[in-house]
Amino acid sequence: MTKIVKFHSIYYRFVLFIVILYLLGVHQIFGRGIQTVNIFDYAFSFHQTQLGYFLLLLLLLGIGINFLFPWKFYITQDGIYLRRLALFVPWSAISGVSHIWINKSSNFSSGINFYNSKCLVFYRHDYKPICIYNISLLALFAVKLFNPQIKTNILSASFATGFNILLNTSIVFYLYFLDLITLSFSSFLLFCLLYFIKIFIIPLWLVYSQNSKYGPYLGHSNFFKRNASDVIHV
């Protein structure tokens, strides 16, 4: 029996992170002790520890709900299959695979939005690359597991993902365990600098490095042009 590994969208992580930041922000504003929230005629009291349990439950619930949605593609020892396109691409047709970040923006007409989309790009010998949006770095490791000889950017992608996890985790840790009033101005500037690196420098670096290797296929979206990359979008 052929082994396959299916991958779902990870967009839910972005939504969950925003919700968690909002709840922790409210937690900072109203104090870190026992808090009371009034909903209609009911009053709910909770402590910081209970908030932690609630955030953990919210995280698990988000992961569970995500797996109720259809998977985007799967990887086998023979190649990849894209569910939306009903397309199978053998490994012999793929020259390389990259995990990169593409900045996606929307204008005022559709609401202001800015998001680092984590993408898996399959470069093909005779056709346009295929860019699959909102895919975990684990997919790149799965590619390397099924086809160890294929070219990837696994080192740079792992560094970028590790930096992202460390930065986001440190912010959640600070908001949960410490008071914002104790945050020094220099620490605040450091966080701003690190987030600037995350939002702009790393995506530009990843896209530039892959365009230098495979050709100018990838591009970042902006408020005036969406899906700027010359690829098949999935």
> Whole-angstrom Cα distance, residue 181 to residue 174?
11
Give domain status of residue 1, yes or no.
no
How does residue 111 score in pLDDT terms, banded at 50, 70 and 90?
very low
Mean pLDDT for 25-41 is 63
Same domain, 97 and 170: yes
3-state DSSP helix/strand/coil % of the chain, to nearest 5 = 45, 25, 30
Structure tokens at 187: 């620490």
| Inside any domain, residue 90 | yes
Both 44 and 91 in one domain: the answer is no
If asked whether residues 96 and 46 sit together in one domain, one would say no
Q: Which of 48, 66, 84 is the last residue of a domain?
A: 66
Indicate whether 109 pLDDT > 70. Answer: no
Same-domain check for residues 102 and 122:
yes
Q: Is residue 159 part of a domain?
A: yes
Domain check: are 91 and 169 in the same one? yes
Asked if residue 88 and residue 201 are part of one domain, the reply reads yes
Domain boundary (31, 46, 66) is at: 66
The 10s digit of each residue's pLDDT in 169-219 is 998 888 888 777 777 888 889 989 999 999 889 999 999 999 999 999 888
| Residue 62, domain extent | 7-66
- Are 126 and 17 within one domain? no
Number of domains composing the chain: 2
The overall average pLDDT reported for the chain is: 84
Sheet with strand 79-82: strands edge to edge: 4-7, 73-76, 79-82, 87-90
Instruction: Kindly provide the b/e burial profile for residues 159-190, where b requires at least 16 CB atoms within 10 angstroms of the residue's own CB.
Output: ebbeebeeebeebeebbbeeeeeeeeeeeeee
d(CA 25, CA 32) in angstroms, rounded, equals 11
pTM: 0.85
In a shared domain, residues 36 and 127: no
Query: Do 52 and 92 fall within a single domain?
Result: no
Which of 106-110, 118-122, 213-217 is predicted with the least confidence, judged by mean pLDDT?
A: 106-110
Question: Is residue 154 included in any domain, yes or no?
Answer: yes
**Shared domain check, 115 and 60:** no
Looking at the structure, do residues 169 and 229 belong to the same domain, yes or no? Answer: yes
Residue 126 inside a domain? The answer is yes
Chain mean position to CA 233: 17
Element of type H or E holding 44? strand 42-46
Indicate the residue type of 75: I
